[in-house]
Amino acid sequence: MQELTLFVSGEANKFIKAVKYPVIKHDTQEHLKEVLRLIMVKIGLRAANFPNEIEKAVLLSHIVTEYGNHTCEEIKLAFDLAIAAKLDVKEVSCYENFSCLYFSTIMNAYRLWAKEQAAQIKNEPVKEEKKEFTEEDKKEWIAELKAKENLVLAEIPDLFYGWMNLTNEKDYYERSMNYCRHQIAEDNTSFAYKKTQLAEFKRQEEEGFEGAFKILIINTAKKMAVFHSLKEVK
């Protein structure tokens, strides 16, 4: 007797496949950056208007915090659907400003679409519950990065600072400020924009950091604390 199977649409199948990947908060930052670059090209964002290092840091932090339980494949699917006018969004164009607000607009519309897809698939298991990493999982991942010869800050997940029970981020604030200042100076943006960013950085350095710069410095300091703990650098 032929086995009966539940019929689902092509889009529902894409949804089922997309949610089977590791969630963003358990994925690598490099993978997320790669997906974001792909999306920016797809929506027609000009290279000159790609987010700079400061804006990227804020955007990545926003995505991990607000959409960390989604997958990178879901992000790609969400923007593919938006471009094809299959999501309930008034405007797909970001008008050369790929901001946290713009990203949230697309992803929130995707969430509504995904909810409908899950309902149509009836009682079939659609999205497996993503279990939290066990202590053994954490130890293995930490050991893997510790053994890596050419480890860079961008490869260190934000989760590691908490996993390793570190509390010394403030010890790295000065190094983080110098590092961030250098990153801004080396950023591949227009000279005028770079000059403005450096001037604002200098002002906040004297008067107190806030907003995007403050978030960037704190996150970078945490990564530095993790890096030096992994490599036992004094």
Structural domain boundaries, residue 16: 10-120
**Count of domains observed in the chain:** 2
Burial of 233 (0-12, 13-18, 19+ CB in 10 A): exposed
Amino acid identity of 82?
A
Answer yes or no: do 107 and 170 share one domain: no
Q: How many beta carbons lie within 10 A of that of residue 156, not counting itself?
A: 20
Answer yes or no: do 185 and 93 share one domain: no
Secondary structure (DSSP) of 120-143: HTTTS--S---PPPPHHHHHHHHH
Answer yes or no: do 16 and 113 share one domain: yes
Rounded to two decimals, the pTM is 0.53
Answer yes or no: do 227 and 169 share one domain: yes
Of 120, 152, 172, which residue is a domain's last? 120
Answer yes or no: do 113 and 169 share one domain: no
Distance in Å from the first CA to the final CA of the chain? 69
Contacts of 137 (CB under 8 A, 6+ apart): none
Residue 128 lies in a domain: no
Q: What is the pLDDT along the chain (234 residues), one digit of tens a residue?
A: 233 333 445 677 888 888 888 889 888 888 899 899 999 988 888 888 888 888 888 999 999 999 999 999 999 999 999 998 999 888 888 888 899 999 999 999 999 999 888 877 655 544 444 456 788 888 888 888 888 888 888 778 878 888 899 999 999 999 999 998 888 887 655 666 678 888 889 999 999 998 878 888 998 999 999 999 998 754
Give the HSE-up count for residue 192: Cα atoms under 13 Å, Cβ half-sphere.
1
Radius of gyration of the chain (CA): 20
Of 120, 147, 179, which residue is a domain's last? 120
Residue 126 lies in a domain: no
CA 22 to chain CA centroid, nearest Å:
13
